[in-house]
C-alpha cells in the first residue's frame, strides 16, 4: 500500500458544504474521499492538457513545414472529408 500523508487544506464555506453534503448523501464515506477523487480528476486533466499541448505544437510544426491543405471554404473541406 502507498504511503499516506495527512495534509491540512483550507476551502471556502461553499466547498466545505458541498463536500459535507456529498458525504451526508452517501456518495462518499468521508470528506477525504471527496478530496482524493477531486485530485485524481485533476491529475487526469493535467495529463490531458499535456497531450493537448503536444498536439497543438505538432499542428504548428506541420504548418511551419508546409504540411497542410488549403480549402476555398467549408464546402470544399466537407467534400474532402466525405471522400476519406
Judge whether 23 and 31 are in contact, CB under 8 Å: yes
Give the pLDDT score at 41.
98
Domain assignment of residue 58, given as a range: 13-83
Q: Has residue 1 been placed in a domain?
A: no
Q: Has residue 73 been placed in a domain?
A: yes
Give the pLDDT score at 2.
85
Q: Has residue 45 been placed in a domain?
A: yes
| pLDDT < 50 positions in the chain | none
Q: Has residue 4 been placed in a domain?
A: no
Q: Has residue 38 been placed in a domain?
A: yes
Q: How many domains does the chain have?
A: 1
Any idea which residue has 464546402 for its cell?
A: 75
Q: Has residue 44 been placed in a domain?
A: yes
Q: Has residue 65 been placed in a domain?
A: yes
Judge whether 68 and 59 are in contact, CB under 8 Å: no
Judge whether 27 and 38 are in contact, CB under 8 Å: no
Give the pLDDT score at 14.
98
Q: How many CB atoms lie within 10 A of CB 28?
A: 18
Please state the separation of Cα 35 from the chain's center in Å.
Answer: 17
Amino acid at each position: 500500500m502507498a504511503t499516506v500523508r495527512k495534509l491540512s487544506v483550507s476551502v471556502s464555506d461553499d466547498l466545505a458544504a458541498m463536500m459535507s453534503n456529498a458525504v451526508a448523501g452517501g456518495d462518499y464515506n468521508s470528506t477525504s474521499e471527496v478530496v482524493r477523487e477531486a485530485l485524481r480528476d485533476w491529475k487526469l486533466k493535467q495529463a490531458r492538457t499535456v497531450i493537448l499541448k503536444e498536439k497543438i505544437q505538432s499542428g504548428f510544426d506541420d504548418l511551419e513545414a508546409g504540411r497542410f491543405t488549403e480549402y476555398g471554404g467549408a464546402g470544399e473541406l466537407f467534400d474532402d472529408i466525405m471522400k476519406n
